[in-house]
Structure 1
Amino acid sequence: MSDKPTLWQTLLSVLSGFFGVQSERNRERDFRNGRPLYYILTGLLMAGLFVVGVILLVRWALSLAGV
Protein backbone atom coordinates (compact mmCIF):
# COMPACT_ATOMS: atom_id res chain seq x y z
CA MET A 1 0.00 0.00 0.00
CA SER A 2 1.29 3.42 -0.93
CA ASP A 3 1.80 5.96 1.81
CA LYS A 4 1.01 8.92 -0.48
CA PRO A 5 0.31 12.11 1.48
CA THR A 6 -3.29 13.32 1.32
CA LEU A 7 -4.20 16.93 0.54
CA TRP A 8 -4.60 17.62 4.25
CA GLN A 9 -1.20 16.08 5.03
CA THR A 10 0.36 18.17 2.26
CA LEU A 11 -1.15 21.37 3.70
CA LEU A 12 0.04 20.48 7.20
CA SER A 13 3.52 19.63 5.91
CA VAL A 14 3.86 22.96 4.12
CA LEU A 15 2.52 24.86 7.13
CA SER A 16 4.93 22.97 9.40
CA GLY A 17 7.72 23.87 7.00
CA PHE A 18 6.80 27.55 7.24
CA PHE A 19 7.31 27.37 11.00
CA GLY A 20 10.24 24.93 10.86
CA VAL A 21 8.60 22.27 13.03
CA GLN A 22 8.19 19.40 10.55
CA SER A 23 8.69 15.97 12.13
CA GLU A 24 11.37 13.71 10.71
CA ARG A 25 8.81 10.97 9.98
CA ASN A 26 6.57 13.31 7.98
CA ARG A 27 9.55 14.83 6.15
CA GLU A 28 10.68 11.37 5.09
CA ARG A 29 7.14 10.51 3.95
CA ASP A 30 6.95 13.72 1.93
CA PHE A 31 10.29 13.18 0.21
CA ARG A 32 9.73 9.49 -0.42
CA ASN A 33 6.11 9.52 -1.63
CA GLY A 34 5.08 13.11 -2.28
CA ARG A 35 5.14 14.91 -5.61
CA PRO A 36 7.30 18.06 -5.46
CA LEU A 37 4.90 20.02 -7.66
CA TYR A 38 2.12 19.64 -5.08
CA TYR A 39 4.32 21.03 -2.31
CA ILE A 40 5.58 23.89 -4.48
CA LEU A 41 2.07 24.92 -5.54
CA THR A 42 0.75 24.60 -1.99
CA GLY A 43 3.65 26.67 -0.66
CA LEU A 44 3.12 29.39 -3.25
CA LEU A 45 -0.60 29.50 -2.52
CA MET A 46 -0.04 29.71 1.24
CA ALA A 47 2.65 32.40 0.82
CA GLY A 48 0.26 34.40 -1.37
CA LEU A 49 -2.51 34.07 1.21
CA PHE A 50 -0.11 35.21 3.92
CA VAL A 51 0.87 38.32 1.92
CA VAL A 52 -2.77 39.18 1.21
CA GLY A 53 -3.58 38.67 4.90
CA VAL A 54 -0.79 41.02 5.97
CA ILE A 55 -1.91 43.66 3.46
CA LEU A 56 -5.50 43.46 4.72
CA LEU A 57 -4.36 43.62 8.34
CA VAL A 58 -2.25 46.73 7.67
CA ARG A 59 -5.09 48.42 5.78
CA TRP A 60 -7.45 47.68 8.66
CA ALA A 61 -4.97 49.00 11.24
CA LEU A 62 -4.42 52.17 9.19
CA SER A 63 -8.15 52.74 8.89
CA LEU A 64 -8.51 52.43 12.66
CA ALA A 65 -5.69 54.97 13.08
CA GLY A 66 -7.53 57.40 10.78
CA VAL A 67 -4.85 57.40 8.10
Structure 2
Amino acid sequence: MDDPSNDHQPPTFLQMLQSVLAAAFGVQSGKNRARDFSHGKPSHFIVLGIVFTALFVLVLLGIANLAMHLAGV
Protein backbone atom coordinates (compact mmCIF):
# COMPACT_ATOMS: atom_id res chain seq x y z
CA MET A 1 0.00 0.00 0.00
CA ASP A 2 2.73 2.50 0.97
CA ASP A 3 4.98 3.67 -1.85
CA PRO A 4 8.59 3.07 -0.72
CA SER A 5 9.89 5.72 -3.13
CA ASN A 6 7.79 8.31 -1.26
CA ASP A 7 9.45 7.57 2.12
CA HIS A 8 11.96 10.40 1.85
CA GLN A 9 9.67 13.08 0.42
CA PRO A 10 8.87 16.08 2.62
CA PRO A 11 5.22 16.31 3.67
CA THR A 12 2.92 18.16 1.31
CA PHE A 13 1.07 21.30 2.37
CA LEU A 14 -2.12 19.28 2.94
CA GLN A 15 -0.26 16.71 5.04
CA MET A 16 1.25 19.50 7.15
CA LEU A 17 -2.15 21.16 7.54
CA GLN A 18 -3.64 17.83 8.58
CA SER A 19 -0.86 17.41 11.13
CA VAL A 20 -1.44 20.90 12.57
CA LEU A 21 -5.18 20.27 12.85
CA ALA A 22 -4.59 16.86 14.43
CA ALA A 23 -2.15 18.42 16.89
CA ALA A 24 -4.76 21.04 17.82
CA PHE A 25 -7.16 18.25 18.78
CA GLY A 26 -4.46 15.92 20.16
CA VAL A 27 -5.17 13.02 17.82
CA GLN A 28 -2.02 12.78 15.67
CA SER A 29 -1.18 9.22 14.58
CA GLY A 30 2.24 7.78 15.33
CA LYS A 31 2.93 7.21 11.64
CA ASN A 32 2.22 10.83 10.72
CA ARG A 33 4.15 12.14 13.72
CA ALA A 34 7.18 10.08 12.68
CA ARG A 35 6.89 11.41 9.11
CA ASP A 36 6.66 14.98 10.34
CA PHE A 37 9.68 14.69 12.64
CA SER A 38 11.85 12.86 10.13
CA HIS A 39 11.03 14.73 6.91
CA GLY A 40 9.25 17.97 7.83
CA LYS A 41 10.79 21.36 8.53
CA PRO A 42 9.90 22.75 11.97
CA SER A 43 9.54 26.29 10.62
CA HIS A 44 6.72 25.19 8.29
CA PHE A 45 4.78 23.61 11.15
CA ILE A 46 5.38 26.63 13.41
CA VAL A 47 4.08 29.07 10.79
CA LEU A 48 1.04 26.89 10.05
CA GLY A 49 0.38 26.54 13.78
CA ILE A 50 0.51 30.31 14.31
CA VAL A 51 -1.77 30.94 11.32
CA PHE A 52 -4.23 28.28 12.51
CA THR A 53 -4.26 29.72 16.04
CA ALA A 54 -4.83 33.27 14.77
CA LEU A 55 -7.70 32.14 12.52
CA PHE A 56 -9.21 30.11 15.36
CA VAL A 57 -9.14 33.12 17.71
CA LEU A 58 -10.63 35.39 15.03
CA VAL A 59 -13.45 32.92 14.40
CA LEU A 60 -14.20 32.72 18.12
CA LEU A 61 -14.23 36.52 18.39
CA GLY A 62 -16.56 36.72 15.40
CA ILE A 63 -18.95 34.20 16.93
CA ALA A 64 -18.91 36.05 20.26
CA ASN A 65 -19.56 39.39 18.55
CA LEU A 66 -22.40 37.88 16.51
CA ALA A 67 -23.95 36.37 19.65
CA MET A 68 -23.72 39.72 21.48
CA HIS A 69 -25.24 41.52 18.49
CA LEU A 70 -28.12 39.06 18.26
CA ALA A 71 -28.68 39.34 22.03
CA GLY A 72 -28.97 43.10 21.71
CA VAL A 73 -26.04 43.86 23.99
Partner of 1:27: 33
**Aligned residues between the structures:** 67
Partner of 2:59: 53
Partner of 1:43: 49
TM-score (norm 2): 0.89
Percent identity, aligned pairs only, is: 43
1:5/1:33 contact within 8 Å kept: yes
TM-score (norm 1): 0.97
Counterpart-to-counterpart distance in 2, 1:52 and 1:16: 20
Q: 4+ runs of 1 displaced by more than 4 Å?
A: none
Note the C-alpha offset of 1:3.
2.5
Q: Is the radius of gyration larger for structure 1 or structure 2?
A: 2
Unaligned segments of structure 2, at least 5 residues: none
